[in-house]
């Protein structure tokens, strides 16, 4: 037991003394949270648009005024001809040009209908969609006002209730994903590098010849990162709750239990990678490519899984972070209890057990 | 000059001999590009909903089939009680619930206002928004149709009553199909190439330091300049190669239009890669171990990528954040790639950004070369 | 000046308030084999690193091969060879590739390189392993290869830092024979070691304790002075009062 204790203490000391890595380990989650909370938005404010008013009548002016007044848009350009559209778009700032044709008002009063062209820079389809939707809404509003005398105010009104995220704050969506990413980073990546480093420097043999058993070595290596991960989770939660008012509706106990489960999953992945990699560079690249990037992109962290093509949806099922995200979002934003998320929990446990078994096997084989 | 040749020879030998690195450098980025481009989309493909139809009338049925006819919405199941539907929502089995009240058809035919309830799982705010606006517009269309046919005003009177209708016609430039892949691929390519350039070059120098072979090099008459060129050039070459590979895939695999000049892209890419290498070099001068180097590189990468305009548009960020992106090389290159490839922009439009990138590259190189010492104390 | 290969005057290196090398003054003649003995932590490697330009001295003077260590360290590097404690060969390159690389770095041209390559492979008996990666070679072979590479450009002075660490006595002996051969050609050999018996092979021996040089003379003279037959004895006597390193 003494040798184990000594080993664990050495591990802690090594990490503790590496100031640069510590700064990154603790600073990164905080910084990422801040960026996500304050800087990343999916909503559109102040989109720069332009107007090509060939009509210059009261209707077009009225609509233009409405648009200029809207918070969503910043009316920056007043074009005089179609030819200018191309060069304006090429400059890259203006996202949409609203075109009123000549005799716009006259057409409207004579035939009862007229059309406005919305030329959008669709390189970013998401933005284009949003900008078009907003523009349409403003115009529809105007039409409503215009017709308020003619059509009785019948109609179906839609009352929408946004569950779990009243303000549609993107930060609520990101925080659970952020936790998953940080845990993957610390527990899997760091562990794999730490173990591989011993191999690379030649210290592994010394360890293996000592009274320490292989599973002692693994646990000793892994313990500091377990602790670090827990501290990270707590930090993120505290910040999310008090700075960003991210709701936490469910049980803290359940949350921590699931977090520790996921940490163990990540740790076992890290150990597995270290058993197949021979030097740090390989361990790092493999962790990055096989673990981190898929975790960020295929787990539903930023891009919704339902939007992905079927093959990718299938692949996302083997990414542990995907299940963890469902669990954490459930607990934090919907207050889900274990009865609702038992399925995902079981899957996580299953994945963890598989990897622990593989790692232990590989580790023993390497010794021989 | 000859000395650099020997350095390059050694580096390339080591790189190609490393069996694990080869697939990572060449195969993985391509695979990633493929996978990620398909994954990275906000498009709403399909949302399932639960229905509580208290009216069970022709009108309510019509509305529901209109919803399904869009192709976006699928009716998962119908319920009679609100709690049952809510459980489905909580479990994530449906994305929203539609509740149609008991006197729906009657209200419509007697021109009384009526309400539809929508309960949307808003965990993903942007998806919720999309669902909300689509449903709203479908209902609005349905409402106008119904009121026009049910109302007491006859078709002729309709015209005389001068109901105005303004329709909009959307014309999508550069990406008529609103295709996500077109938008994402150049950006993802930039990120992949940057990651490879940054991680490999930075870690490589630190690796020599950790192993001890750097000492043997420091004792030779090699100058700092020769050493750095020897370290940076191989990974610059690999980076350019990966970029070319990716561009080929983008052009012929993803069928992304290349409106602008490929030469322009390649020249700018060359400068950009020097910047990335310089960054890796700089990191190697402030770290002692590969672990540290990797971490700091990762840290910087994450910040740059998040604020780079790939996942969320820079225009959506608050003003102060947009100012911060002025120092983000990845943001510039992504923007340049999109402008040149997708919009056919030329030197006139991008030369400002290219100047900034070049200045950054030069500055970083100078600082790193200065910091790098052949003495360790 | 013309006969002195290395000369230092009160050369000192401090790290913070720790004095690793404390005002050492030595003189090494051309063609001499100079042995730098001392316990671990005594400061030998630090001293050597200053002379090879890997560390900047804190104070004092030092001249190597006619060049000043402070201001002309790059010129020094062209004229010296160095073999580090870890042997510093590239494990993932073959002996041939290592030879070609280091030869090229030191400015040997195509013709010279090819000649050296053949010479070294033959004299080191590396014929059978020339295409194998250095990482797979036994320690003794790495050692002789590292030594040969350190003098590939035929420098005036060669610095060897614990070159015989970890190899068996027979291999050590063979290694010293190579050192003799090289010294006979007029190359100055500056070697650090903690093997006391190797002291006998040197022309001059200096013993470092706690950063200071406590004794420096030919092995015979030292034995006479301390009235003993073994250098080891002298070392133990001097090192007993050492505050640093292992006892």
> Are residues C90 and B2, on separate chains, in Cβ contact within 8 Å?
no
Choose the weakest-confidence range: A209-218, B252-261, C77-86, C213-222: A209-218
Q: Which residues of A311-320 are buried (b: 16+ CB within 10 A; e: fewer)?
A: ebbeebeebb
Distance separating alpha carbons of residues A338 and A246, to the nearest angstrom: 21
> Are residues B6 and C54, on separate chains, in Cβ contact within 8 Å?
no
Of C54, C77, C133, the CB nearest to B221: C77
- Work out the average pLDDT over A28-49: 78
Of A44, A168, A307, the CB nearest to B128: A168
> Are residues B287 and A20, on separate chains, in Cβ contact within 8 Å?
yes
C131-183 tens-digit pLDDT? 889 888 988 889 989 999 999 999 999 999 988 888 888 888 889 999 999 99
A330 and A236 within one domain: yes
Length of chain A: 368
Q: Which chain A positions have a beta carbon within 8 Å of B328's beta carbon?
A: none
Q: Which chain A positions have a beta carbon within 8 Å of B124's beta carbon?
A: 173, 304
Q: How is residue B132 written in tokens? A: 């909300």
C175-231 tens-digit pLDDT? 999 999 999 999 999 999 878 888 889 999 998 888 888 889 999 998 888 888 888
Measured at the CA of B146, the angle between CA B144 and CA B149, to 5 degrees, comes to 105
Question: Greater confidence, A169 or C136?
Answer: C136
Nearest C-alpha neighbor of B194 from the set B118, B274, B252: B274
Q: How is residue A300 written in tokens? A: 């539903």
- Contact between C216 and C32 under an 8 Å Cβ cutoff? The reply is no
| Residue of B2, B16, B216 to mutate, interface with C, max C Cβ within 10 Å | B216
Q: How is residue A118 written in tokens? A: 């919305």
Q: Is A360's pLDDT higher than 60?
A: yes
Read out DSSP for C44-79?
HHHHHHHHTTSS--SEEEEEETTEETTT-HHHHHHH
Q: How is residue C109 written in tokens? A: 């041209």
| Contact partners, residue B105, CB within 8 Å, separation at least 6 | B55, B57, B58, B59, B60
A219 and A84 within one domain: no
A352 and A312 within one domain: yes
Please indicate, yes or no, if residue A297 is contained in any of the structural domains: yes
> Global pTM?
0.79
Q: How is residue B265 written in tokens? A: 């892209």
- Contact between C124 and C151 under an 8 Å Cβ cutoff? The reply is no
> Are residues C54 and B215, on separate chains, in Cβ contact within 8 Å?
yes
> Are residues B343 and A123, on separate chains, in Cβ contact within 8 Å?
yes
Chains A and C touch, using 3 or more CB pairs below 8 Å: no
Reported confidence tier of residue A149, pLDDT bands at 50, 70, 90: low
Residue with tokens 């609520």: A172
Of A24, A304, A334, the CB nearest to B127: A304
A246 and A205 within one domain: yes
Nearest C-alpha neighbor of C197 from the set C223, C168, C227, C232: C232
Distance separating alpha carbons of residues A193 and A199, to the nearest angstrom: 10
A232 and A109 within one domain: no
Residue with tokens 């602008």: B260
Q: Which chain A positions have a beta carbon within 8 Å of B179's beta carbon?
A: 125
A329-354 tens-digit pLDDT? 888 888 888 888 888 899 999 998 99
Q: Which chain B positions have a beta carbon within 8 Å of A322's beta carbon?
A: none
Distance separating alpha carbons of residues A161 and A219, to the nearest angstrom: 48
Structure confidence at residue A240 (pLDDT): 85
Phi, psi of B115 (to 5 degrees): -120, 145
Q: Which chain C positions have a beta carbon within 8 Å of B221's beta carbon?
A: 74, 77-78, 105-107
Q: How far is A215 from chain B (nearest CA, A)?
A: 23
User: How many contacts (CB atoms, under 8 Å) link B and C?
Assistant: 76
Q: Which chain C positions have a beta carbon within 8 Å of B224's beta carbon?
A: none
Q: Is the dihedral of CA C162, C163, C165, C171 positive or negative?
A: negative
Distance separating alpha carbons of residues A94 and A116, to the nearest angstrom: 18
Structure confidence at residue B249 (pLDDT): 87
Nearest C-alpha neighbor of B77 from the set B60, B55, B93: B93
Flag whether the ipTM exceeds 0.85: no
Structure confidence at residue B164 (pLDDT): 67
The topology under which CATH files domain B47-160 is abc type-2 transporter like fold (3.40.1710)
Domain spans, chain B: 2-40+178-371, 47-160
**3-class SS of residue A118:** strand
Q: How is residue A211 written in tokens? A: 């009274």
Nearest C-alpha neighbor of B285 from the set B188, B202, B167, B161: B202
Nearest C-alpha neighbor of A230 from the set A186, A271, A272, A273: A186
Q: How far is B218 from chain C (nearest CA, A)?
A: 7
A52 and A26 within one domain: no
A297 in B contact zone (CB under 8 Å): yes
Q: A: neighbours with 3+ CB pairs under 8 Å?
A: B
Average model confidence (pLDDT) across chain C: 88
Separation in Å, CA C168 to CA B15, C134, C139: 34, 19, 10
**3-class SS of residue B48:** strand
| Contact partners, residue B72, CB within 8 Å, separation at least 6 | B44, B45, B46, B47, B134
Q: How far is B60 from chain A (nearest CA, A)?
A: 12
Question: C9: which strand partners?
Answer: C61
Nearest C-alpha neighbor of B117 from the set B54, B61, B66: B54
Q: How far is C229 from chain B (nearest CA, A)?
A: 38
A338 and A233 within one domain: yes
Identify the CATH number of the domain in which residue A129 sits.
3.40.1710.10
Q: Is C82's pLDDT higher than 60?
A: yes
Report long-range pairs for A232-235 (Cβ below 8 Å, ≥24 apart).
A232/A25, A232/A26, A232/A29, A232/A182, A232/A183, A232/A186, A233/A179, A233/A182, A233/A183, A233/A259, A235/A26, A235/A29, A235/A30
Q: Which chain B positions have a beta carbon within 8 Å of C89's beta carbon?
A: 213
CA dihedral B138, B141, B147, B153 (to 10 degrees): -170
Angle between helical axes of B180-211 and B262-285 (0-180°, round to 10): 30
A205-234 residues touching B, CB cutoff 8 A: none
Of B3, B17, B212, the CB nearest to C104: B3
Q: How far is B376 from chain C (nearest CA, A)?
A: 6
- Determine how β-strand C4-15 pairs with β-strand A73-79: unpaired
Q: Which chain B positions have a beta carbon within 8 Å of A116's beta carbon?
A: 166-169
Distance separating alpha carbons of residues B216 and C86, to the nearest angstrom: 10
Residue with tokens 């459930």: A330
Q: How many CA atoms lie within 13 A of B146 on its CB side?
A: 27
> Are residues A90 and B306, on separate chains, in Cβ contact within 8 Å?
no
Point out the residues of chain B with pLDDT beneath 50. 159-160
Of B128, B289, B315, the CB nearest to A162: B128
Structure confidence at residue B147 (pLDDT): 65
Q: Which chain B positions have a beta carbon within 8 Å of C102's beta carbon?
A: 216, 220
Count: domains in chain A: 2
Q: Which chain A positions have a beta carbon within 8 Å of B136's beta carbon?
A: 158, 160
Residue with tokens 């790059």: C74
User: CB atoms < 10 A from the CB of A203, how many?
Assistant: 11
Chain center to CA of A317: 17
Please say which residue of A112, A146, A180 terminates a domain: A146
Nearest C-alpha neighbor of C55 from the set C68, C46, C64, C65: C46
A321 and A240 within one domain: yes
Nearest C-alpha neighbor of B330 from the set B312, B303, B350, B352: B303
- Contact between A280 and B290 under an 8 Å Cβ cutoff? The reply is yes
Residue with tokens 């009384």: B112
Three-state secondary structure of C105-163:
HCCCCHHHHHHHHHHHHHHCCCHHHCCCCHHHCCHHHHHHHHHHHHCCCCCCEEEEECC
Please indicate, yes or no, if residue A69 is contained in any of the structural domains: yes
Please indicate, yes or no, if residue A367 is contained in any of the structural domains: no
Chains A and B touch, using 3 or more CB pairs below 8 Å: yes
A117-146 residues touching B, CB cutoff 8 A: 117-129, 132-133, 135-137, 139-140, 142-143, 146
Q: How is residue C234 written in tokens? A: 């002298």
The beta strands (E) that lie in B253-372 are given as none
> Are residues A165 and B122, on separate chains, in Cβ contact within 8 Å?
yes
Q: Which chain C positions have a beta carbon within 8 Å of B12's beta carbon?
A: none
Distance separating alpha carbons of residues A40 and A177, to the nearest angstrom: 14
Q: Which chain A positions have a beta carbon within 8 Å of B44's beta carbon?
A: 306-307
> Are residues B221 and C80, on separate chains, in Cβ contact within 8 Å?
no
> Are residues B377 and C55, on separate chains, in Cβ contact within 8 Å?
yes
Reported confidence tier of residue A154, pLDDT bands at 50, 70, 90: low
Q: Is A357's pLDDT higher than 80?
A: yes
Please indicate, yes or no, if residue A105 is contained in any of the structural domains: yes
Q: Residues of chain C with pLDDT > 90: what percent?
A: 33
A149-188 residues touching B, CB cutoff 8 A: 150-166, 168-170, 172-173, 185
> Are residues B6 and C52, on separate chains, in Cβ contact within 8 Å?
no
Nearest C-alpha neighbor of A298 from the set A189, A306, A35: A306
**3-class SS of residue C104:** helix
Q: How is residue A229 written in tokens? A: 């991960």
- Contact between C159 and C81 under an 8 Å Cβ cutoff? The reply is yes
Q: How far is A62 from chain B (nearest CA, A)?
A: 13
A59 and A28 within one domain: no
A99 and A221 within one domain: no
Of B6, B212, B223, the CB nearest to C84: B212
> Are residues B124 and A304, on separate chains, in Cβ contact within 8 Å?
yes
Residue A334 per-residue DSSP state? I
Q: Is A98's pLDDT higher than 60?
A: yes
Reported confidence tier of residue A148, pLDDT bands at 50, 70, 90: low
- Work out the average pLDDT over A197-205: 75
Phi, psi of B46 (to 5 degrees): -160, 130
Q: How far is B6 from chain A (nearest CA, A)?
A: 23
A175 and A75 within one domain: no
Q: Which chain A positions have a beta carbon within 8 Å of B47's beta carbon?
A: 306
Separation in Å, CA C217 to CA B304, C79, C226: 62, 26, 11
Q: Which chain B positions have a beta carbon within 8 Å of C86's beta carbon?
A: 211-212
> Are residues C106 and B375, on separate chains, in Cβ contact within 8 Å?
no
Reported confidence tier of residue C64, pLDDT bands at 50, 70, 90: very high
Q: How far is B189 from chain A (nearest CA, A)?
A: 14
A137 and A32 within one domain: no
Nearest C-alpha neighbor of B339 from the set C56, A302, A91: A91
Q: Residue A26 belongs to what domain range?
A: 2-40+167-362
Q: How is residue B42 written in tokens? A: 């906000």
- Contact between C195 and C39 under an 8 Å Cβ cutoff? The reply is no
Question: A276: which strand partners?
Answer: none
Structure confidence at residue C247 (pLDDT): 42
Closest residue of A to B43, CA-based? A307
**3-class SS of residue B53:** strand
Separation in Å, CA A317 to CA A267, A311, B28, B121: 19, 10, 20, 21
Of A127, A142, A164, the CB nearest to B313: A127
- Contact between C35 and C202 under an 8 Å Cβ cutoff? The reply is yes
Phi, psi of C190 (to 5 degrees): -115, 110
Q: How far is B226 from chain A (nearest CA, A)?
A: 24
Read out DSSP for B271-295?
HHHHHHHHHHHHHHHS-SSHHHHHH
**3-class SS of residue A19:** helix
Q: Which chain B positions have a beta carbon within 8 Å of C15's beta carbon?
A: 377
- Contact between A235 and A325 under an 8 Å Cβ cutoff? The reply is no
């Amino acid at each position: 037991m003494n040798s184990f204790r000594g080993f664990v203490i050495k591990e802690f000391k090594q990490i503790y003394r590496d100031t640069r890595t510590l700064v990154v380990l603790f600073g990164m989650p905080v910084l990422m949270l801040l960026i996500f909370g304050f800087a990343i938005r999916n909503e559109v404010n102040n989109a720069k648009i332009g107007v090509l008013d060939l009509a210059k009548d009261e209707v077009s002016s009225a609509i233009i005024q409405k648009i200029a007044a809207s918070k969503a848009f910043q009316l920056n350009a007043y074009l005089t001809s179609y030819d200018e559209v191309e060069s304006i778009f090429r400059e890259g700032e203006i996202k949409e040009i609203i075109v009123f044709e000549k005799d716009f008002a006259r057409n409207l009063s004579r035939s009862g209908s007229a059309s406005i062209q919305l030329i959008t820079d669709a390189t970013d389809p998401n933005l284009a969609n949003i900008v078009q939707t907003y523009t349409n809404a403003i115009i529809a509003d105007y039409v409503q006002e215009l017709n308020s005398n003619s059509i009785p105010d019948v109609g179906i009104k839609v009352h929408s209730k946004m569950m779990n995220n009243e303000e549609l704050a993107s930060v609520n969506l990101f925080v659970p994903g952020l936790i998953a990413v940080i845990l993957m980073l610390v527990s899997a990546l760091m562990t794999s590098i730490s173990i591989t480093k011993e191999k690379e420097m030649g210290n592994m043999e010394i360890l293996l010849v000592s009274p320490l058993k292989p599973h002692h070595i693994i646990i000793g290596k892994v313990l500091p990162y377990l602790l670090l991960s827990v501290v990270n989770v707590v930090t993120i939660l505290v910040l999310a709750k008090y700075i960003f008012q991210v709701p936490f509706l469910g049980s803290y106990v359940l949350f921590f239990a699931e977090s520790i489960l996921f940490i163990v999953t990540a740790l076992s992945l890290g150990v597995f990678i270290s058993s197949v990699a021979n030097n740090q560079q390989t361990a790092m690249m493999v962790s990055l490519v096989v673990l981190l990037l898929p975790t960020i992109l295929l787990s539903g962290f930023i891009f919704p899984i339902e939007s992905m093509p079927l093959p990718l949806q299938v692949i996302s099922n083997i990414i542990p972070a995907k299940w963890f995200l469902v669990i954490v979002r459930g607990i934090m934003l919907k207050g889900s209890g274990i009865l609702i998320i038992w399925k995902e929990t079981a899957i996580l446990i299953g994945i963890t057990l598989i990897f622990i078994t593989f790692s232990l096997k590989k580790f023993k084989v390497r010794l021989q | 000059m000859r000395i650099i040749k020997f350095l390059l020879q050694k580096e390339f030998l080591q790189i190609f001999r490393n069996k694990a690195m080869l697939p990572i450098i060449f195969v993985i980025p391509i695979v990633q590009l493929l996978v990620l481009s398909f994954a990275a989309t906000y498009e709403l493909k399909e949302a399932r909903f639960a229905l509580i139809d208290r009216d069970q009338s022709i009108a309510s049925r019509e509305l529901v089939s209109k919803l399904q006819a869009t192709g976006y919405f699928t009716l998962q199941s119908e319920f009679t009680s609100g709690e049952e539907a809510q459980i489905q929502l909580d479990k994530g089995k449906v994305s929203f619930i539609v509740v149609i009240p008991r006197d729906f058809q009657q209200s419509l035919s007697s021109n009384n206002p009526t309400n539809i309830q929508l309960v949307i799982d808003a965990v993903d705010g942007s998806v919720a928004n999309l669902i909300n606006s689509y449903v709203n517009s479908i209902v609005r269309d349905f409402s106008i149709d119904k009121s026009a046919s049910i109302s007491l005003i006859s078709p002729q009177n309709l015209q005389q009553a001068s109901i105005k209708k303004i329709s909009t016609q959307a014309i999508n430039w550069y990406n008529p199909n609103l295709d996500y892949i077109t938008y994402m691929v150049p950006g993802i390519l930039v990120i992949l190439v940057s990651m490879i350039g940054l991680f490999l070059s930075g870690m490589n120098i630190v690796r020599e330091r950790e192993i001890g072979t750097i000492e043997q090099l420091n004792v030779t008459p090699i100058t700092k300049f020769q050493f750095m060129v020897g370290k940076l050039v191989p990974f610059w070459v690999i980076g350019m190669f990966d970029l070319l590979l990716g561009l080929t895939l983008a052009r012929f695999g993803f069928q992304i239009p290349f409106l602008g000049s490929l030469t322009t892209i390649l020249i700018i890419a060359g400068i950009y890669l020097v910047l990335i290498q310089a960054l890796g070099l700089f990191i190697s001068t402030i770290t002692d171990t590969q672990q540290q180097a990797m971490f700091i590189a990762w840290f910087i990468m994450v910040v740059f990528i998040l604020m780079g305009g790939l996942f969320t548009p820079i225009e959506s960020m608050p003003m102060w954040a947009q100012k911060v992106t002025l120092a983000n090389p990845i943001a510039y290159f992504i923007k340049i790639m999109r402008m040149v490839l997708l919009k056919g922009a030329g030197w006139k439009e991008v030369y400002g950004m290219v100047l900034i990138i070049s200045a950054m590259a030069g500055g970083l190189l100078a600082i790193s070369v200065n910091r790098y010492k052949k003495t360790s104390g | 000046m013309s006969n002195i290969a290395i000369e230092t005057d009160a050369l000192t290196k401090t790290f913070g308030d720790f004095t690793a090398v404390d005002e050492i003054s030595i003189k090494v003649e051309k063609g001499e084999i100079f042995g730098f003995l001392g316990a671990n932590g005594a400061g030998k490697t630090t001293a050597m690193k200053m002379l090879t330009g890997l560390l900047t001295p804190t104070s004092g003077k030092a001249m190597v091969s006619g060049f000043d260590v402070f201001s002309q360290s790059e010129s020094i590097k062209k004229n010296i060879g160095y073999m580090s404690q870890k042997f510093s060969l590239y494990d993932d390159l073959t002996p041939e590739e290592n030879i070609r690389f280091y030869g090229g770095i030191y400015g040997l041209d195509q013709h010279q390189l090819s000649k050296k390559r053949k010479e070294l492979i033959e004299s080191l008996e590396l014929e059978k392993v020339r295409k194998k990666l250095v990482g797979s070679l036994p320690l003794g072979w790495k050692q002789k290869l590292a030594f040969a590479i350190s003098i590939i450009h035929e420098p005036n002075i060669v610095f060897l830092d614990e070159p015989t660490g970890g190899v068996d006595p027979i291999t050590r002996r063979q290694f010293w024979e190579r050192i003799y051969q090289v010294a006979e050609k007029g190359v100055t050999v500056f070697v650090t070691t903690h093997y006391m018996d190797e002291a006998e092979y040197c022309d001059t021996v200096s013993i470092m304790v706690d950063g200071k040089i406590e004794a420096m003379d030919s092995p015979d003279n030292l034995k006479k002075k301390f009235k003993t037959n073994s250098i080891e004895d002298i070392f133990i006597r001097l090192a007993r009062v050492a505050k640093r390193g292992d006892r």
